[in-house]
Structures are given as structure tokens and as C-alpha cells.
Amino acid sequence: MEEYLLLDAGSGGRASQRLIGSMFLRHFSNEALNRLDDAALLNVSGPLAMSTDSYTVSPLFFAGGSIGTLAVHGTINDISMLGAEPRWLSCAFILEEGLPLAELEKVVADMGEAARKAGVKIVTGDTKVVPKGACDKIFINTSGIGEVYASPVPSGHSAKTGDVVLASGTMGDHGLAIMAARSGVSFLSGARSDSAPLNGLAREIYEATGCVHVLRDPTRGGLATTLNEIAEQSGVEIEIEQAAIPINEEVKSGCSFLGLDPLYLANEGKLICIVPENLAQKALFAMRANEYGQEAAIIGQVREGRPGRVALRTEIGGKRLLGMLEGAQLPRIC
């Protein structure tokens, strides 16, 4: 096999077949995929959740993950936020001619491992190779299907006055890890992406409470932007306590040095959940019992007030509005 990716590998002909056989089938193998028909056949019943995300993160590898782990976790997490168990993923690569095949293989191996750990199968795929310069190394799209178990499903439209807002863990880790990987600044070297699958965590919260009004993963735009979306969609005000929001020390100091607000940094393994007040403790216990929710905390409450507004009660007792992200804090974060 060659050392670098050739344009031929995207032709649909013999070279494409070799790449599929030598790499994708080896890491993703399952009955539906191995048939190599134009589409995968899936047995399913009942309501489904469908989601899609493209991943363009730069660099491809960083502390705590890679474009491969993000591509699997990100789509799994989006599906999980609808109260659905992710089951099947598609995987479509856009690859740059000349890419070292060893890099591609590392990414593919990361995807295979992440999918196995989360209990999902990559059942269908596509590979395009574009001439050198027409894309930057590797872009990946994953789309996914999950079987809905929640009824009614959680939705950004369902927050109610009095509900309690919980975060599953520390905020801003992924955003700072990418910044650290790009800058090479040594004191940021403790920053580590939180890339993780949240299907188990989401399901355990639902099983513990039987009623989850909102589930969202605060990715691009961070916690602040996600809360603003919920406040707008539900027509409520959300008030959160700055002191209650879990943030790693490395992220706090890195952000203060770089002039960034961790509440606007992307997360890739955290969720926000909003439940009726009487279920908040149950939700909290369920979250802390899961490996990806050990630092879960109650961070605020849904209030009467101005619909669409998010207020932050600061550590020194003041209160300020927390707007949606304006502008782009960091391109190609995921």
C-alpha cells in the first residue's frame, strides 16, 4: 500500500475498493457495513432521532481526543439529547490528496474504538478525495440514528418556570485544549478535551427521573449560548450562579491569561439538563454515578422574568446578563 493518499482513492474504482478494504472495513467491521451496498439495511421500530454533524477541527489530534473521537461522540451526543439511544452512524470522509495514510488510519482507528465503546455501529460510508489544496487534510461527516426511549422527548422548547438547571461537569475544557494545541503555549499544556459519549449518562438521568424537560450539549458557543437558545425557545428566563459552575483550574487560569470566558468555550462531553425542581436531586445523583458526570452540579433555575434572557449571579453578589456568543471565538473548534 502507498504511504500517501492518491486522488484515485476517491474515484469509485479499484483504488477506492482497496482503501475501503484495507482500512475502513478493518476498523469498522459489522454485518450491515460489510455488504457494501449503496445503503445499509437496519431493523428498527418506533420513533427515531436523526442528527448530522461535520467535523473540520484543526489540528487533527489534541490532548484528550482527535477529529475521529469528536466525529463519533458529537453525533452520538446530539442524538442522546433527544432522549434516544444512538444505534447507527454513517461516516463520510473528504480527504486531501497527499494525506499521509498513517494519519488517516489513526483517525479511523479512533472512530472504530469510540464507536465500539459507545455501543454504536458505523453502517454506511462515503469517501471523496479532493486535489491538494481543495480541503485541509481531513473533514468528516457523521450522521446518526437513535431509537427514542423518552416520552415526551426532551426539547429546548420545554423549560418551565421553577425548573432546575444542572451541568454534568466542568465547562470549557475542549475549547481550551484546541487553543492549547494550536498555540503550543507551555502553561496551557494541562488543558485536555472532554470528548466523550453521553448516551449512557442521558439515559440514566431519564431512568432516574422519568421526566427531563431539556437536554442539550453545550458545544460551539459554550454554556452561555446553549442557555440563551433554551431561554429563547422556551420563552423563559434562566438564572445561573457563577460560583456553582464547575470549571477546571487549568481552564480558569488559561482563560484569564488569554482573555477568554470559559462559559463561551466549546464542550464535547458535557450536557445541560433541566428538570422539575422536585426531581433535581435525583437527576444530580444519577449524573454523579456516571463516569462522565462525576462533577455534575446544580447551576441555576428557570425563572419568571424576561423571556429569552439569561442572567448570571456573580461570585461577588452582582447580576449580569449573559448574552449569546457574538462573532466567532475560535474557528474550526470541532
Fill in the amino acid letter for 310: V
- Per rule CB under 8 A, is residue 318 in the interface with a copy of itself? no
- Per rule CB under 8 A, is residue 325 in the interface with a copy of itself? yes
Contacts of 256 (CB under 8 A, 6+ apart): none
- Per rule CB under 8 A, is residue 197 in the interface with a copy of itself? no
For a copy of itself, which is the closer residue by CB, 136 or 277? Answer: 136
Each residue 218-257 as x (binds a copy of itself by CB under 8 A) or -, in order, gives -xxx---x---x---x------------------------
For a copy of itself, which is the closer residue by CB, 228 or 290? Answer: 228
- Per rule CB under 8 A, is residue 315 in the interface with a copy of itself? no
* Angstrom distance (rounded) from CA 145 to CA 313: 39
- Per rule CB under 8 A, is residue 5 in the interface with a copy of itself? no
> Which of residues 134, 185, 289, 321 is near a copy of itself by CB under 8 A?
134
Q: Measure the CA angle with vertex 262, ends 215 and 285; round to 5°.
A: 40
> Which of residues 19, 24, 72, 90 is near a copy of itself by CB under 8 A?
90
- Per rule CB under 8 A, is residue 94 in the interface with a copy of itself? yes
| Minimum CB–partner distance for residue 305 and a copy of itself (Å) | 21
Secondary structure string (H, E, C) spanning 260-317:
CCHHHCCCCCCCEEEECHHHHHHHHHHHHHCCCCCCCEEEEEEECCCCCCEEEECCCC
- Per rule CB under 8 A, is residue 332 in the interface with a copy of itself? yes
Q: Going by DSSP bridges, is the β-strand pair 121-130/84-96 parallel, antiparallel, or unpaired?
A: parallel
Q: Going by DSSP bridges, is the β-strand pair 310-313/297-303 parallel, antiparallel, or unpaired?
A: unpaired
* Angstrom distance (rounded) from CA 108 to CA 304: 48
Burial category of 72 from C-beta neighbours within 10 Å (exposed 0-12, middle 13-18, buried 19 and up):
buried
| Minimum CB–partner distance for residue 60 and a copy of itself (Å) | 13
What number of chain residues touch a copy of itself (CB under 8 A)? Answer: 86
Binding to a copy of itself in span 273-292, by CB under 8 A: none
> Do 168 and 215 contact (CB within 8 A), yes or no?
no
**Stretch of 52-60, 65-73, 160-168, 203-211 lying at the interface with a copy of itself (CB under 8 A):** 52-60
- Per rule CB under 8 A, is residue 170 in the interface with a copy of itself? no
Q: Is 7 left (phi over 0), alpha (psi -120 to 50) or beta?
A: alpha
- Per rule CB under 8 A, is residue 81 in the interface with a copy of itself? yes
> Which of residues 2, 29, 44, 258 is near a copy of itself by CB under 8 A?
44
* Angstrom distance (rounded) from CA 295 to CA 241: 16
State the cell numbers at 183: 498555540
* Angstrom distance (rounded) from CA 154 to CA 204: 14
For a copy of itself, which is the closer residue by CB, 145 or 177? Answer: 145
- Per rule CB under 8 A, is residue 129 in the interface with a copy of itself? yes
* Angstrom distance (rounded) from CA 97 to CA 125: 19
For a copy of itself, which is the closer residue by CB, 114 or 266? Answer: 266
- Per rule CB under 8 A, is residue 35 in the interface with a copy of itself? yes
> Which of residues 66, 143, 168, 195 is near a copy of itself by CB under 8 A?
143
Binding to a copy of itself in span 95-124, by CB under 8 A: 123-124
- Per rule CB under 8 A, is residue 128 in the interface with a copy of itself? yes
Q: How many CB atoms lie within 10 A of CB 290?
A: 18
- Per rule CB under 8 A, is residue 14 in the interface with a copy of itself? yes
